Chain A
């Protein structure tokens, strides 16, 4: 950052954090950790009440308690997005607690079925799990809030896809193993386009954020696989190998953080983005461009 006198100081948020989403209510799936927790934290800091929905009841509650302990409004709800009844119940509980849902962030996702650290090719389980969570889970989540948003004549849906759902750059690591994931994330982007058209007449915008690479459990699994069986640098720790890869392949030279994704979600959820719908925005340091 700049050190010139009079310029903006380092580390300062450029957004008035108390007003951007004041009095909004957001439901974030997969929010107990990783990207989802980063999104939930940023939305809460900017004034939104947040329902933290994740598979584990304990993890959802504990993440919500973390937000409440610093003065935000939050509840944790055990939610399985692959189950329509479960996500519908989560929407109902959120409305009970906070009166409505203004913002849905469909974030819950998986990279592959278990055992990926040691495999070199995908299996049927990988296709099933990525489709059921990343595609059908995102669809179920939207379906659970759409009637409510239509009735209110407003709403914001932000789907978390991936830049892996964009066209490949010609070379990429873990391409074969990562195909079910990439295909599912391309599905999320296309779902975003189609749903945006369907919901535009109801003043509901639907957009996607496509994260690049972040040091999360998911990326740790991918790079553990690369180090174990994918020809990644064996002389480096998994984390160091990832850092090196980011320096080499990302124009801005670094991975992203969950908060970076949260900032983009906050923008799409804000009044500033009222004319933006059907778009997918890469937050990836320029690693792929659209």
Chain B
């Protein structure tokens, strides 16, 4: 049994789409007919991801962009418009867990706060700023921000992932609030803005988290990062399994479809029930 959300011809810009969740989102949307502008800080990764989509019979093009720079994102949006003529859908996904060296540290640093705020918050603002005027002119658009269930209220139990995740979680809470406010601002222009909050996925980001836990907890020294990840999933997820980038892509596909035309300003957890809202 399949579900085919028809996004035929929707020009879609996905940031951070060279790997991980962003790549999964790009794959699902392209399978459902969207034309993908694959954007990544790592231009080579964007090329590889776009090539893979084209090789599978989809339509995609690669773009290099740094979400921390408004100029870079303005240039990127202009390049996408030059290539495809319009942008129907924007998926702000590019994010970081912390500053370089994160996986060796047991507490957050100033650099972690700067990196998470710069990429996860200001990066989303820059990206929206670069695309929203175009959507306003056309009086149509869908924006989905990828937050995290870590941006929701903590569950009260011991913070299993440690204090070091605080900058990340705070930045993702900010993404949710940004989603609410941007939705109000853009609603009169027929633009929907929503967030998807992924749970626990085996991506380069979670590999860094697992390496960090391995380094900081002697009881975990004998386990591989993947084993540490699986233990966390079993402990924390009611459905007992991890999510995949494609799962996130499916929720994004719904939110950017006409089926969700009355949904705006909402954040939806895709996390096997680990945090509920």
Say whether A277 contacts B264, CB under 8 Å. Answer: no
Say whether A251 contacts B9, CB under 8 Å. Answer: no
Assembly CA distance A226 to B86 (angstroms): 45
Assembly CA distance A50 to B39 (angstroms): 43
Q: Count B-side interface residues using an 8 Å CB cutoff.
A: 54
- The answer, among B86, B138, B270, for a CB contact under 8 Å with A276, is B270
Say whether B269 contacts A272, CB under 8 Å. Answer: no
Assembly CA distance A278 to B155 (angstroms): 14
Residue A119 lies at the interface, judged by CB distance under 8 Å to chain B: no
Assembly CA distance A185 to B55 (angstroms): 49
Interface size class of A (residues with CB under 8 A): 35 or more
Say whether A23 contacts B140, CB under 8 Å. Answer: no
Interface string of B235-254 (1 = CB under 8 A from A): 00011110110010011011
Q: What is the distance, in angstroms, from B215's C-beta to the closest C-beta of chain A?
A: 29
Assembly CA distance A103 to B98 (angstroms): 41
Say whether A4 contacts B86, CB under 8 Å. Answer: yes
Residue A69 lies at the interface, judged by CB distance under 8 Å to chain B: no
Assembly CA distance A7 to B84 (angstroms): 11
Beyond A193-B276, A197-B273, A252-B262, whether A8 also contacts B8 by CB under 8 A is: yes
Q: What is the distance, in angstroms, from B154's C-beta to the closest C-beta of chain A?
A: 16
- The answer, among A12, A197, A264, A273, for a CB contact under 8 Å with B263, is A264
Q: What is the distance, in angstroms, from A76's C-beta to the closest C-beta of chain B?
A: 26
Residue of B nearest to A252 (CB): B187
Assembly CA distance A18 to B6 (angstroms): 12
* Known interface pairs A283-B263, A286-B184; 13 further A-B residue pairs with C-beta atoms within 8 A, sorted by A's residue number: A1-B140, A4-B86, A4-B140, A19-B4, A201-B240, A251-B188, A264-B259, A267-B254, A272-B254, A273-B251, A281-B266, A286-B183, A289-B266
Question: Which 10 A-B pairs have CB atoms at the shortest separation, nearest pair first?
Answer: A251-B187, A14-B257, A200-B238, A2-B140, A263-B259, A278-B273, A286-B265, A272-B250, A14-B258, A277-B273
B interface residues (Cβ-Cβ under 8 A, vs A): 1-10, 85-86, 88, 138-140, 180, 183-184, 187-188, 190, 192, 199, 238-241, 243-244, 247, 250-251, 253-254, 257-273, 276-277
11 A-B pairs, CB-CB below 8 angstroms?
Answer: A2-B138, A7-B86, A13-B6, A14-B259, A200-B272, A201-B239, A271-B2, A278-B269, A279-B277, A281-B263, A290-B267
